[in-house]
Chains A and B, each alone.
Chain A
Amino acid sequence: DAKTTQPPSMDCAEGRAANLPCNHSTISGNEYVYWYRQIHSQGPQYIIHGLKNNETNEMASLIITEDRKSSTLILPHATLRDTAVYYCIVRRTGTASKLTFGTGTRLQVTL
């Protein structure tokens, strides 16, 4: 699976949009981009994933560049409860492909 690069930490004011970047320049055509987050002392939680089109769900939006070498996770209106470590993971299509977690981005949402 392709390697990902994320900034180690980011801050965001509550109510503002949080934009978390991820570089995956070696991604191949059959690899999805997944985002998970881990709130302190909890298990990782799935957020969203995409292949090449932008995706949106009730939690977030995922913007993937046209060349697929980078992506941005957008939390449109961050709240204090969104404070967590966010992991960008590239994963091959197909069931049970392993999730390889990097160090992620620690997002701190502040008042």
Chain B
Amino acid sequence: DAGVIQSPRHEVTEMGQEVTLRCKPISGHDYLFWYRQTMMRGLELLIYFNNNVPIDDSGMPEDRFSAKMPNASFSTLKIQPSEPRDSAVYFCASLLGQGFDDEQFFGPGTRLTVL
């Protein structure tokens, strides 16, 4: 398996623009997580899905952020409108979900810069 795939790897945009980040989890994994990493706040969980259904979005910073998972092999994280403080590395991770102690597999991340 190719692992968790994220696109784009780098995104530079201007304040006010819409940004869409994409993630393809490992095939067969039931859970998908979105994280954000900044120098100030470290690595923090934004939202996660189970069988394409959002389970916990308490980490989503505000209404400008939204995430969807239309099917088992694709998820998006959208920021509209984007702001400079959204600049961060966004990671997607997936988890099999068949055991009590499964590990999360992380993608390579998308580095977002909002000017």
Give Cα distance in the complex from A81 to B109, angstroms: 20
B102 CB contacts on chain A under 8 angstroms: 95
B55 CB contacts on chain A under 8 angstroms: 96
Give chain B's interface residue range (CB within 8 Å of chain A).
20 to 34
Identify B100's interface contact among A95, A99, A103, CB under 8 A: A95
Give Cα distance in the complex from A32 to B104, angstroms: 14
For window 55-111 of chain A, which residues contact chain B by CB distance below 8 Å?
Answer: 87, 93-96, 98-103
| Residue contact A101 to B31, C-beta cutoff 8 Å | no
Give Cα distance in the complex from A96 to B102, angstroms: 8
**Residues of chain A at interface, number, CB under 8 A:** 22
Q: Given A43-B91, A93-B100: A99 and B45 within 8 A (CB)?
A: yes
State the main secondary structure of chain A at its contact with B: loop
Among A44, A45, A102, chain B packs the most CB atoms within 10 A around the CB of A44
Give Cα distance in the complex from A19 to B97, angstroms: 31
A101 CB contacts on chain B under 8 angstroms: 42-44
Asked whether any CB of chain A lies closer than 8 Å to the CB of B14, the reply is no
B103 CB contacts on chain A under 8 angstroms: 34, 46, 49
Identify A43's interface contact among B45, B50, B95, B106, CB under 8 A: B106
Which residues of chain B have a CB within 8 Å of any CB of chain A?
Answer: 4, 30-31, 33, 42-45, 48, 50, 55-56, 91, 93, 95, 97-109
| A-B CB proximity, top 4 nearest | A43-B106, A101-B43, A46-B103, A95-B97
Q: What are 26 A-B interface contacts by the 8 Å CB criterion?
A: A32-B101, A43-B4, A43-B106, A44-B91, A44-B106, A49-B101, A87-B43, A93-B100, A93-B101, A95-B30, A95-B95, A95-B98, A95-B99, A95-B102, A96-B31, A96-B50, A96-B95, A96-B97, A98-B45, A98-B48, A99-B45, A100-B45, A101-B42, A101-B43, A101-B44, A102-B42
Which residues of chain A have a CB within 8 Å of any CB of chain B?
Answer: 32, 34, 38, 41-46, 49, 51, 87, 93-96, 98-103
